[in-house]
Amino acid sequence: MTLTMTTSRASDDEVLASGEYPLTRRDLNEIAAMIYSDAGIALNDSKASLVYSRLSKHIRNLGLSGFRAYCQLVASPEGANERREMLSHLTTNFTRFFRENHHFEHLRDEVLPGLIANAKAGGRVRIWSAACSDGQEPYSIALTVLQAFPNAADYDFKILATDIDPKILAIARAGAYDEQALETVNPSMRKQWFKEVEIGGRRKWQVDDRLKRIITFNELNLMTQWPFKGKFDVIFCRNVVIYFDEPTQVRIWSRFAELLPIGGHLYIGHSERVSGDPKNDFDNIGITTYRYIGKHGGRR
């Protein structure tokens, strides 16, 4: 199969990507509108090849004639489940243990001492891994916490891990990873917190139940209402808002600010920056590392 891209912008019938099925501008626009409505993800013509590669095999497996039939299905009431499947196919789930490790070093050296002291004094500590993917980020947070505070589970010290995709959350809850996934985990840490198992005839590394004990995995769409009653001391939301348009990014930054106490920390992705009015509410204290200083920097 060959995949071709066209560059003219003639009409809704213009083919933007072709191979087994043609993907027209009309198809892409309809898919983009649904994904934006459901998840805030902005797709444009430059993403045509990505959309084609992620969906064409699925369309074949469904026995549909092409993207036009697929768009009609996922837009219909009968296609609600397939619309969720479409979201799973189009969301990017690249992750790894200790990705952008400077965040975990900052958490360990600058943030955790205060949080641990607060927990030992009877306080409540909450860390949120937003868009946690297959769990490698929240488990990296838990590893960092438990290396410094092995009995964290005995205190009110919890990590919330959320993602929009229920399929990827199932993998996260299982916590079993291929050898390759653990390449960025320190060997001594691997020995202490993982055990080798066989699952479905494949060799895997299973996270220790002590890690799972301080993590709660829940499905959450960042575009919908958030069910939180309390604040978070730390929020990780990395390499996510880059897929949103600018107004949506600003809205997300504002909502994060509302959930952080003064002095709370926000870690974001390497290509992201807090933007718009909310940037005045944060101090940029390191590489993609922010401290909340209050609404408009504490000014009234």
Strand partners, 160: 128, 216
End residue of a domain, out of 63, 90, 117 = 90
Instruction: Name the active-site residue from 27, 134, 163, 165.
Output: 163
CATH code assigned at 49? 1.10.155.10
In a domain, 106, yes or no: yes
For 151-175, b/e burial (b = at least 16 CB within 10 A) is ebbebebbbbbbbbbeebbebbeeb
Give the mean pLDDT of 267-285: 95
Q: Looking at residue 300, what is its pLDDT?
A: 39
Q: Is the pLDDT of residue 67 over 50?
A: yes
Asked if residue 202 and residue 53 are part of one domain, the reply reads: no
Q: Would residue 54 show up in a list of annotated catalytic residues for this protein?
A: yes
Of the pLDDT bands very low, low, confident and very high (cuts 50, 70, 90), residue 299 is low
Cα distances (angstroms) measured from residue 74 to each of 26, 35, 69, 85, 88: 14, 11, 9, 9, 13
Q: Looking at residue 18, what is its pLDDT?
A: 82
Asked if residue 260 and residue 141 are part of one domain, the reply reads: yes
Asked if residue 79 and residue 165 are part of one domain, the reply reads: no
Q: Look up residue 244 and give its DSSP letter.
A: B
Asked if residue 211 and residue 168 are part of one domain, the reply reads: yes
In a domain, 95, yes or no: no
Asked if residue 138 and residue 273 are part of one domain, the reply reads: yes
Instruction: Tell me the per-residue pLDDT of 204-236, one tens digit each, with 9 for 90 and over.
Output: 999 999 999 999 999 999 999 999 989 999 999
Give the whole-angstrom CA distance, residue 247 versus residue 285: 24
In a domain, 248, yes or no: yes
In a domain, 249, yes or no: yes
292 phi and psi angles, rounded to 5 deg: -75, 125
In a domain, 97, yes or no: no
Give the whole-angstrom CA distance, residue 104 versus residue 86: 33
Instruction: Tell me the per-residue pLDDT of 162-185, one tens digit each, with 9 for 90 and over.
Output: 999 999 999 999 999 999 999 999
Of the pLDDT bands very low, low, confident and very high (cuts 50, 70, 90), residue 112 is very high
Asked if residue 283 and residue 157 are part of one domain, the reply reads: yes
Give the mean pLDDT of 47-67: 92
In a domain, 235, yes or no: yes
In a domain, 122, yes or no: yes
Of the pLDDT bands very low, low, confident and very high (cuts 50, 70, 90), residue 87 is confident
Asked if residue 191 and residue 131 are part of one domain, the reply reads: yes
Of the pLDDT bands very low, low, confident and very high (cuts 50, 70, 90), residue 9 is very low
Of the pLDDT bands very low, low, confident and very high (cuts 50, 70, 90), residue 27 is very high
Asked if residue 114 and residue 206 are part of one domain, the reply reads: yes
Domain residues for 44? 4-90
State both tokens at 117.
């002291």
Cα distances (angstroms) measured from residue 194 to each of 6, 13, 132, 160, 218: 48, 53, 19, 21, 23
Q: Would residue 163 show up in a list of annotated catalytic residues for this protein?
A: yes
Asked if residue 225 and residue 123 are part of one domain, the reply reads: yes
Asked if residue 60 and residue 25 are part of one domain, the reply reads: yes
End residue of a domain, out of 90, 117, 135 = 90
End residue of a domain, out of 32, 63, 90 = 90
Asked if residue 151 and residue 43 are part of one domain, the reply reads: no
Asked if residue 133 and residue 22 are part of one domain, the reply reads: no
In a domain, 243, yes or no: yes
Give the whole-angstrom CA distance, residue 268 versus residue 239: 7
CATH code assigned at 220? 3.40.50.150
Number of domains in the chain: 2
Instruction: Name the active-site residue from 26, 38, 54, 108.
Output: 54
Instruction: Tell me the per-residue pLDDT of 122-169, one tens digit each, with 9 for 90 and over.
Output: 999 999 999 999 999 999 999 999 999 999 999 999 999 999 999 999
